[in-house]
Structure 1
Amino acid sequence: MSSSTQVEAEATGGVPRRRIVVASMVGTSIEFYDFYIYATAAVTVFPHLFFPKSDATTALLASLATFGLAFVARPVGSILFGHFGDRVGRKATLIGSLLTMGIATFLIGVLPTYAMVGILAPILLAILRFCQGLGLGGEWSGAALLATETAAPGKRAWAAMWPQLGAPIGFFIANGFFLILTLTMGHDNANPNPDGPFLSWGWRVPFLLSAIMVMIGLYVRLRLEETPVFARAVARGQKVKTPLATVFRTSWRALIIGTFVMVGTYTLFYLMTTWILSYATGPAGPNALGWKYSDFLVLQLVAVLFFAAGVPVSGRLADRFGRRSTLTVITIAIMVFGLTFGFALNRDTITEGSMLVFLSIGMLLMGLTFGPMSAVLPELFPTNVRYTGSGISYNTASILGAAVAPFIAVWLVKQFGVGWVGIYLLIAAGLTLIALLIMKETRNRDLDAV
């Protein structure tokens, strides 16, 4: 056995590298698929079916509020699953998070609407959305650790980018599915027909089919072994009884830095997906463009390919030039991008072509900033609290940068105009830039350190 092959085998615990890649990427793809079908439905379906009849903006804001509820649940999920991930192991916890997310998503597909059971409908929707957040709160950090703790020396950012690809893959499948349904069922978001096939039953299909995807993900993950880094920590007797208390006592600075490193990324992504969908397809007027839903979804599906392309590029860059310098340059580019919102999204001059360019640039920046994150956040924390610490940072940032982003953006457009949404992004990215300037480089940090 060559020395490089031996190092690879030791890093992966004897599990073939392709199996680890597939397990980390397939699982996150399923989880993000589940998450994104809700995000799409929050704009196109739920305002019509799950909330009392009122004006369109109020119904949309109520729907986006339940969308944001999952982000409140995600830090809770990171604490819950992080406890077991640092106490029991990465493999078992990843299976639990996948089941939590999958069951909640399937049940959303069978929920009664407001017309059937009244106020109980949005209550049940909110509960299941909260459960989705719990599942995703435990999923990301587990997949990131699976990738980083089995990576060969000098290739952690490249190995860690594979679970990050789950985000654009899940987005593409979820929104592609909705595009096919709306086209085949003749649904028009500008003039929705409550008795048409899409709003009657078609919207449920993506939620119900998630059950099949979850079974595939379980099959892949059940064939994994525990990561060697965690196994060595257990053998040395370095597990802690209370990971949550320990991480706040020993790594509070890393928690703060990790949270704000992610804030700009989250804000960019949910502005470029959830908010802009409502801005483009909402009723034509001063606050929205009134475009056809299916037409805009095609633009998003093309743009998400740039997201996917940016992830591996930034993985390579982060391994070569370091995490801190790579992300600093990308974050400054995001701040500049924020200054373009006012003229790029001007409803009097925008065309489908210019919108595609705008979306593609935003998604490319998203891929570039998102790619290294599953290496950066785990590298900030010691082995015995790494699952808990990276998960809390990642998911607390989701509240600050994602949960409120669509809601704030809708309000900003209504009160001050679309250009202020870009200023909002610039401020969020500015907070990330400050965190990066404070953060020390983590590329050469030993993951076995406790």
Structure 2
Amino acid sequence: MRTSHRPSLTRLAAAALVGTAIEFFDFFVYGTAAALVLGPLFFPTFSPLAGTLAAFATFGVGFVARPLGSVLFGHIGDRRGRRPVMVGSLLLTGATTVAVGFVPTYASIGVAAPLLLLLLRFLQGLGLGGEWGGAVLLTAEHAPAGRRGLWASLPQIGPSAGFLLANGIMLGLSTTLTDAQFAAWGWRVPFWAAGVLALVGLWLRSSLVESPAFLSMEEPARLPLAEVVRGHGRLVLLTAGALAVGYAIFYAVTTWSLAYGVERLGVSRSVMLACIMAAVVVKGSLTPVAALLGDRFGRRPVCLAGCAVAVVWMVPMVALLSTGEPLLMFLGFLVALLAFIAMFAVIAAYLPELYEPRVRCTGAAVGYNLGGVLGGALTPIVATALAGEGAGVPWGVGLYLSGVAALSLGCFVLLPETAPAAVAREAVTA
């Protein structure tokens, strides 16, 4: 049995939060660029709609790679520890993001340009597929049981911070540069900045100590993925289905809505980014509140409540977006993201608790990232196709998102409760 001292939870959670913020900055800056400029630059022979679809297809490749990354890094996390995952995933994601900033456009090297973009996006997704498992598990496994939801939710603020940082830079560039300057070189700046941020993240994570749950294991799993498939296959599928709605909501708001507002509604990039970013600020600030509710009332009830709101709100959200009015668009985005965070703040503690420690890194990460394929990879593509080029409210997009939410609600119903306090109350009642 291996031993280690217990570190400061505050320091550990801060390092995990900063790391996830940096890695999701890398991931989100690509999504914003795909919505704004990558179509014309890398797929110029396509129509505007087809170019946007192609750009979103390269965006979706990152999600397809994420489950593969969770298998690769999950194996390392269950065999060698959670800490190496946090360092390796950050290094891979940061390097590939910087490389995207140097890829020549179609006008310079022809078809090799989108192929390079596709390859780098795949590698970027591979790195991010390992990030969540390492950061959340290391924090959750150090946290006390009664406050595990709160502590584990802090790395979940990282995606909000990364999104705000990525889009804040994009907003600043889009408002200070001309359209020609932004298309020529301005969009590359956030990708170059990722290199500096990755170095900061690596420095912060270099001093972290290993998880006590991993150190206390007598014998790590030899083939974690095989054990997960054999003993937890149903659980992986249920968690993937349950989490699909969260990804669908987030990327419908932050990626598809951005492209739709700019290209179809004629709203300026700066206004669209400001509306989305304001909603993300509120969502990020309320993440610990949702996690505390999960500690108090149980993980599953909070997830069910958020998912139920998503079922009924997606159609109104699309209608509010279609007005093109900033305040109404902000309202639509805000309610959708609050439903999202009710689930995803709690998931940081919920998923690790569903799996035994010897396969936890693989099982939790694979379920989490498969949900990304179902919800995140497909949503911008499907929504863009459903919206088409016609006028009027794209009701089909709202119905599609509500359908995804209904599927996830059914999966959450089938999942068990894991919060220690809630489980104890159920035992006493029984």
1: distance between equivalents of 2:388 and 2:78? 45
How far off its partner does 1:140 sit? 0.6
1:7-26 matches, within 5 Å, as 13-26=5-18
State the partner residue of 2:152.
Answer: 160
Q: 2:296 aligns with which of 312, 315, 320?
A: 320
Residues 15/342 of structure 1: CA separation in 2 closer, same or farther (3 Å cut)? closer
1:330 shift after superposition: 1.3
Partner of 1:76: 68
Match of 1:371 in 2: 345
Question: Which 10-residue stretch deviates more, 174-183 or 351-360?
Answer: 351-360
Superposition misfits of 4+ residues, deviation over 4 angstroms: none
In 2: Cα distance, 1:357 partner to 1:405 partner: 21
Structure 2 distance, partners of 1:42, 1:12, is 44
Q: CA deviation at 1:388?
A: 0.4
2:381 matched to 1:381? no
- Looking at structure 1, the residues matched to 360 and 386 of structure 2 have their Cα atoms a distance apart, in angstroms, of 37
CA deviation after TM superposition for structure 1 residue 143, in Å: 0.8
Quick check: 1:440 aligned with 2:416? yes
Deviation at 1:141, TM superposition (A): 1.1
**Aligned match of 1:30:** 22
Deviation at 1:216, TM superposition (A): 0.8
1:427 aligns with 2:395: no
Distance 1:13 1:61 in 2: 50
C-alpha contact (below 8 Å) 1:27/1:217 kept by paired residues: yes
1:270 matched to 2:244: no
Q: Within 1, Cα distance between the matches of 2:290 and 2:152?
A: 11
1:132 to 107, 112, 124: 124
Q: Which SS does the other structure have where 2:145 is aligned?
A: coil
**2:278 matches 1:302:** yes
Q: Which of 109, 114, 121 is the equivalent residue of 2:101? A: 109
How far residue 342 of structure 1 moved from its aligned partner, in angstroms, is 5.3
Q: What is residue 3 of structure 1 aligned with on the other side? A: none
Provide the C-alpha distance between the structure 2 equivalents of 1:25 and 1:300, rounded to a whole number of angstroms: 21
The whole-number CA distance in structure 1 between the counterparts of 2:318 and 2:244 is: 22
Contact 1:86 1:388 in 2 (8 A): yes
Equivalent in the alignment of 1:336: 312
1:392 to 366, 369, 378: 366
Question: Does structure 2 conserve the Cα–Cα contact (< 8 Å) formed by 1:69 and 1:129?
Answer: yes
Is 1:243 paired with 2:217? Answer: no
8 Å contact from structure 2 (residues 256, 383) kept in 1: yes
Partner of 1:5: none
Change in 2 beyond 3 A, CA 1:201/1:137: same
Q: 134, 138, 145: which is aligned to 2:137?
A: 145
Could you tell me how far 1:94 is from its partner in structure 2? 1.1
Select the residue among 356, 362, 375 that pairs with 1:401: 375
The match for 2:189 is 205
1 CA distance for matches of 2:181 and 2:398? 37
CA distance 1:342–1:247, shift in 2 (3 Å): closer
Distance 1:161 1:342, change over 3 A: closer
Separation in 2, partners of 1:306, 1:89: 34
**What is the TM-score normalised by the length of structure 2?**
0.94
Could you report, residue by residue, the CA deviation over 1:180-215 in whole angstroms, capped at 9, with x for unpaired residues?
A: 01111133xxxxxxxx22211111111011111111
For residues 407 and 322 of structure 2, the distance between their equivalents in structure 1, rounded to whole angstroms, comes to 27
| Counterpart check, 1:219 vs 2:203 | yes
Partner of 1:240, secondary structure, is: coil
Instruction: Note if contact 1:36-1:171 (Cα within 8 Å) is conserved in structure 2.
Output: yes
Query: Structure 2: how far apart are the matches of 1:342 and 1:119?
Result: 35
What is the match of residue 355 of structure 1?
Answer: 329
State the alpha-carbon separation in 1 of the partners of residues 389 and 225 from structure 2.
Answer: 41
Amino acid at match of 1:255: V
Q: Deviation string for 1:247-285 (max 9, x for gaps)?
A: 111111221121112111111111111110011001xxx
**Matched pairs, number:** 417
> What SS is found at the alignment partner of 1:430?
helix
Please name the residue that 2:425 is paired with.
Answer: none
CA contact (8 A) 1:342 1:420 kept: no
Contact 1:43–1:278 (8 Å) recurs in 2: yes
Letter of the aligned partner of 2:398 in structure 1? Answer: G
State the alpha-carbon separation in 1 of the partners of residues 238 and 322 from structure 2. 35
| CA displacement at 1:12 relative to structure 2 | 8.9
The alpha carbon displacement at 1:362 in A equals 1.8
- Is the CA contact 1:257–1:439 (under 8 Å) kept in the aligned structure 2? yes
Tell me if structure 2 keeps the 8 A contact 1:341–1:418: no
Check the 8 A contact 1:309/1:364 in 2, yes or no: no
Deviation at residue 438 of structure 1 after TM alignment? 0.9
Q: State the TM-score, normalized to the length of structure 1.
A: 0.90
Q: Is the 8 A contact 2:74 2:361 kept in 1?
A: yes
Whole-angstrom CA distance in 1 between matches of 2:319 and 2:124 = 36
Partner of 1:290, secondary structure, is: coil
Q: Secondary structure at the match of 2:329?
A: helix
Name whichever structure is richer in helix by fraction.
2
Report if aligned partners of 2:257, 2:321 keep a CA contact under 8 Å in 1: no
Q: Which residue of 2 aligns with 1:54?
A: 46
Q: In structure 1, list runs of 5 or more residues that go unmatched.
A: 1-10, 188-195, 283-287, 446-450
- Report if the CA contact (8 A) 1:307-1:365 is conserved: no
**Partner of 2:216: helix, strand, or coil?**
helix
CA RMSD after TM alignment = 1.6
> Is residue 275–residue 330 contact of structure 2 (8 Å, CA) maintained in 1?
yes
Identity %: 39
**2:212 is matched with which residue: 202, 224, 228?**
228
